[in-house]
Structures are given as structure tokens and as C-alpha cells.
Amino acid sequence: METVRGVRLTERGPGTQVKGRRISERLLAPLYLDTNRDHRRSVFLAGSGRSGTTWASEIINYRREYRLVFEPFHPGRVTLCRNFRRKQYLRPEDRREDYLEPARKILTGELRNSWTDRFHRTFVARRRLIKDIRANLLLGWMRTNFPGMPVILLLRHPCAVAASKLALGWKDNLAEILDQKYLIEDHLRPFEHEIRDASTSFERHVFVWCIENYVPMKQLSPDGVHLMFYEELLASPETEIPRLFTCLGGDFDDRVYEALDRPSPLSRDGAKGERDPGAWMNAIGEARMRRAGEIMGLFGLDRVYGNGPMPDSEGARAMMRDTSRLLPGEVQGEG
């Protein structure tokens, strides 16, 4: 019988024990104490689907100090959020309790749900890490109504995101996004014609990425949100990890770098290219890369990503300083 790192493996192979451990962890996931109901004891991690948010949550929570709340604003999985769209936009001044009450229950830890608790592994939690790929358009509203909560916005190149979604057969929800009157009036009117004319799945996915990152970058100041890039986290962890944990107000040790090397629980089997910032470039091709550049240019997001895989993080922060306005409850230096 083989032993690996002190773990005895049965003759059925290591996969059997791994699967058994995951089943045990899932059964134990609902058994926890969330000891603090202050929304400021939550950290909110937002990003586009397939941008690495689950992987980033594993890095942040490498010591299992947080209660991990997974995708709580999913209306199909969380009854509490049945009034929300999958990419809901709310004006910062919106005070409707139909939206405030569910958000309050999520951000203060009152929500318990088999979907949101599926990856939680800590018995006693004094802080929450709330990770969601459907909440980018809510960040300005959330910052106004729940001030003082650390917010992290994770970005990954839109071509990489689109390539990953297409490989998995994900449908876009551009039509549902465009069905929101206030979103059009507040942010998308200058681009509405081009958005509605998008003819390919690739273009539509790139437009979704632009919308769900342009809006929070326009609403929030670079001091009011921790802007983090998937590519920089991969390429320069020695710089990005200290910045991240400074934002979180905590320390870290070398074990965090082990978490960097572990694949996300939701990563595609055998998708080694997911860990290479430029792996998507051959799959996308020059014509689609050019088209993505044109779409990003409409929103001014070509200041963030260009022809190569790496971001211009200073260009992104400069764009935010040029376009954002401080929201109620947001102060310079917060976040």
C-alpha cells in the first residue's frame, strides 16, 4: 500500500480518498459558528465569471480564517435573492428593502444555504469572505449602503475570460443586462447601439466583461476598492500578496504561496493553460483579439488591457481616478 506525504492510499488509488475527503467536508460544511454580525467583518470579492475568483478566494482564505460564502447573489440557487437579476444593477441611492434586506442578511452572515456554504471548511469564523461573479454591477450600491466593508475587484483579460467561457459552453446574458433601464441611462447609453449589434458569441462575452468592469471602475475610486489582476497575481505574487493582505488588514506567512500553486476547485480538469497568463492567445487568434481591442476602446478599457496578456494596472487606476466619483460612505484611502 502506497504512502504519499504520510497519507495511506488504498489500492483503488488516490482519487478515491480525495473524493471521500471532499464528500466528508461537504457534509460538515453547514456545521459552523459565525460569531460576528457586523457587515464590516465581511470581505467582498467580486469579478467576472472565469476570472479566477474561486482561486483567489482560496489564496485569501489559505488559513481557513474566514467563513467562505460562495455566490450568494445567484437567484436560481438562493431563494433570498429571487428578486435579483443574474447581473443586477442598482443605483447607489436605491433604498428598496426588497434588495437591502437580502444583501443585509448575506453581508452580516445571517444567510445559511447549501449552495453558499458548499466550500466552507471552518467551524468557528469571525470574518466572512463573500465571493460572487454576479455582483459587479452592485458594488457601487453596496459601497453606499454598507460602508466600511473591504471590497476586492479581480480582473482578468477579457479574451482569456471569453475563451474560457466559450470552451465551457457558457451562454452570455447580454440581453438581460440590456433590459435594465437605469443601467442604460446611467452608464451604457453611449455604447448601446454597438452592444446591441454584437453578432458573435465571442463579441457578446467581451461586451459583458466590459460592462461588468466598466461600471464599478466608473463608480468607485481606486482608494475605495482593492483592484487586483489575475495575471499579476500569477506573475508577481511577491508584490501582489503583500498588497492584498495589507488591504485585508492582516498578516500572512509562506503557506499562502502554496495556495497559489493549488488549482481552483472549479478549474477545468487538465486546464494547465489556466495558469499561463497568455495561453489564450493562440486559441483566440488575431482577428478576434483586434475586435476585442475595439470593444474595450469604446469603454476606455484599452487603458487596462492591450494586445498582450498583461494588464496596465496604473492605467486602470488612472482611469478610475478620471471617471469615478466618491460615493456616500466612501472616503479617500478606504479599501
Output the average pLDDT for the chain: 87
In a domain, 119, yes or no: yes
In a domain, 6, yes or no: no
In a domain, 314, yes or no: yes
CA 310 to chain centre: 18
Confidence of residue 26 (pLDDT cuts 50, 70, 90): low
pLDDT of residue 29: 55
- For 254, the domain range is 13-323
In a domain, 4, yes or no: no
CATH code for the domain in which residue 79 is found:
3.40.50.300
What's the whole-model pTM score? Answer: 0.86
Phi, psi of 311 (to 5 degrees): -80, 165
CA distance 43 to 249: 11
In a domain, 332, yes or no: no
Looking at this protein, which amino acid is placed at residue 66? Y
In a domain, 331, yes or no: no
In a domain, 2, yes or no: no
Q: What does the pLDDT look like over 45-84, one tens digit per residue?
A: 999 999 999 999 999 999 999 999 999 999 999 999 999 9
Above 50 in pLDDT, residue 273? Answer: no
In a domain, 7, yes or no: no
- Give me the sign of the Cα torsion angle 99, 100, 101, 103: positive
Q: What does the pLDDT look like over 206-224, one tens digit per residue?
A: 999 999 999 999 999 999 9
Number of independent structural domains in the chain: 1
pLDDT of residue 10: 34
